[in-house]
Chain A
């Protein structure tokens, strides 16, 4: 692993800033930033499948919920078993990945494209939500874990090792855990974007048939991209469940399905760093607006979206980043 420091001043600077932020903030704000960062992975996943591959998926939320619920069911059932806080995470991600593989195979090998991918994935998300909402009764219990319908599931243990120095993923450990994970994933995504598969995936956005006629297996590459996106959504789902200690069906509704799309589009879907920063900024902004502006918050959010797509089709944060790099010589 070699990082070219000269070429990557901006991302390194951003992560350094995030790294020293805990020195100046109390634990309430720290937990808040952890919460904002939880959402960046699902958005990064969407930036892979939509920004790179040009396939708009509303299914990210379904994978988010699936991972969250799987993590909850597994960890609650094996509570107290050594290391459950670690392997339940991997197991939940494995389940999410398998489901992503099945859905992706169904989509791309079934010849479903363009708008239809959006509709199918939205339908999958809504099936999940509708099903989970009606699981209030005691008959919907997996092992000892009650799904608990509309009110959601709770009581899962915290991720991490109980008796080691590293400790549980909460508080400041949670902050640095998520930040490190984000850095690793961003680095991996940049590698993926410049890999052979990544380039084929990028090209498939422009012209599927032409890339296929050059002898590349477009369907397989799209499937790989889709699974990566679903796994990233799963990471978000598990971190979210861990952060709040609960997961509800409404985290898979129509509104939740549209939110990542909105964040990614407004930030700039073609650039991972912009999506990461933009997602944190937009989740923070909607929270601030909700606290201070109350009823006008949603209108302000709507206006941001409309204005962004109308005047800055490449995304607000990406535009800001380009201006920053152009203006400040040192960053170039």
Chain B
């Protein structure tokens, strides 16, 4: 019983973390309101499933292929459109919304209303009366590891310092001899690639439909906003807090009320903790 609750909680937690992880870079750091984030996840999922089916690649290779496709997709978009919208955050809403329409509809036309998915890898294990998916437990651990890696990349390496400095003061960074455009492209590609990872990881667990990304987008935004100004520090406590609320309310009432509680708590957090969980943690230091 206790493990069951922990498992449900962990499942919700990893879903929030993985849906937010790419957006934490693109929205949390670069301040681009990327409404096409869900479609990046879609690209990753289709890349994985289609390559897995057509070339009958083993799953990890197919996943790597899916991520690669998403990175390339992100780089092309950045070069053609996003690059011209830096510093115009509200216009990026409209452009990325347009992109998301184009992408999801193209997938519908090319691959049809649904695509035969892959089997969930790994087995199940039994504990007490319930049986649990090993893959879901893997996702929980993997999402935490991925976040730790991301934290190291952006906070401890010289690339991370460069990226943060460039986003903070582009003119200054440029004056110091940094190629601002390349740093932006690389950061955006990392964000897109992470969204691709999310798509690849969830591809074997879901029915593959062109609107698959829509399932992630709202969770992604609310988690990143709750995480606050330093997304990599705040993401885990934010996701933990939100999944606690969602699982407990869902446990006592029903799923829709759980979603209502989740969204309401986000509204209250923005009101009373405008800098999110990372602001709270930095204040305590």
Contact = CB atoms under 8 A, between A and B. Distances in A.
B259 A306 contact: no
A112 interface: yes
B101 A299 contact: yes
B99 A123 contact: no
Interface stretch (B7-15, B198-206, B214-222, B243-251): B214-222
A116 B267 CA distance: 9
A254 interface: yes
Q: Which of A299, A301, A309, A310 has the most CB of B within 10 A?
A: A309
A299 B91 CA distance: 19
Nearest to B91: A309
Given A115-B31, A123-B266, A130 B260 contact: yes
Q: Which of B99, B105, B217 has the most CB of A within 10 A?
A: B105
Interface string B69-99: 0000000000001001100111111110111
A199 to B, nearest CB: 21
B237 interface: no
A131 B267 contact: no
B50 to A, nearest CB: 19
Contact of A258 (B31, B97, B108, B221): B97
A266 B98 CA distance: 11
Given A127-B260, A254-B214, A295-B109, A112 B95 contact: no
B256 interface: yes
Contact of A299 (B105, B221, B264): B105
Interface residues of B, number: 42
Contacts of B133: none
B94 A131 contact: no
A302 B105 contact: yes
Chain A interface, >50% SS class: helix
Contact of A313 (B35, B88, B108, B257): B88
Interface string A117-152: 011101110110011011000000000000000000
A126 B218 contact: yes
Q: Which of B88, B93, B225, B254 has the most CB of A within 10 A?
A: B93
B33 A115 contact: yes
Given A123-B222, A308-B94, A313-B88, A130 B102 contact: no
B160 interface: no
Interface string A272-302: 0000000000000000000000011011011
Nearest to A107: B271
A130 B84 CA distance: 36
A302 B263 contact: no
B122 to A, nearest CB: 33
Nearest to B92: A309
Contacts of A130: 256, 259-260, 263
B264 A306 contact: no
A305 interface: yes
Interface string B231-271: 00000000000000000000000101101100110110011
> Number of contact residues on A: which range applies?
35 or more
B101 A301 contact: yes
Given A119-B221, A299-B105, A309 B94 contact: yes
Contact of A306 (B88, B95, B214): B95
A263 to B, nearest CB: 10
B97 A261 contact: yes
A130 B256 CA distance: 6
Given A118-B33, A304-B98, A310 B225 contact: no
Contacts of A131: 256, 260
A303 interface: yes
B26 to A, nearest CB: 13
Contact of B91 (A54, A118, A265): A265
A262 interface: yes
A110 interface: yes
A122 B35 CA distance: 12
Interface in A188-214: none
Interface string A32-56: 0000000000000000001000101
Given A295-B109, A302-B99, A116 B94 contact: no
Contacts of A254: 214, 217-218
A127 B108 contact: no
A116 B101 contact: no
Contacts of B91: 265, 309, 313
Given A116-B270, A116-B274, A134-B256, A306 B81 contact: yes
B181 interface: no
Given A265-B94, A310-B84, A112 B102 contact: no
A106 interface: yes
Q: Which of B33, B101, B102, B106 has the most CB of A within 10 A?
A: B101
Given A130-B259, A310-B84, A56 B90 contact: yes
Contacts of B270: 112, 116, 119-120
Contacts of A309: 85, 91-92, 94-95, 98
Nearest to A124: B267
Nearest to B276: A116
8 contacts: A54-B90, A123-B264, A130-B259, A299-B106, A302-B98, A305-B94, A305-B101, A310-B81
Interface of A: 50, 54, 56, 106, 110-112, 114-116, 118-120, 122-124, 126-127, 130-131, 133-134, 254, 258, 261-262, 265-266, 295-296, 298-299, 301-306, 308-310, 313
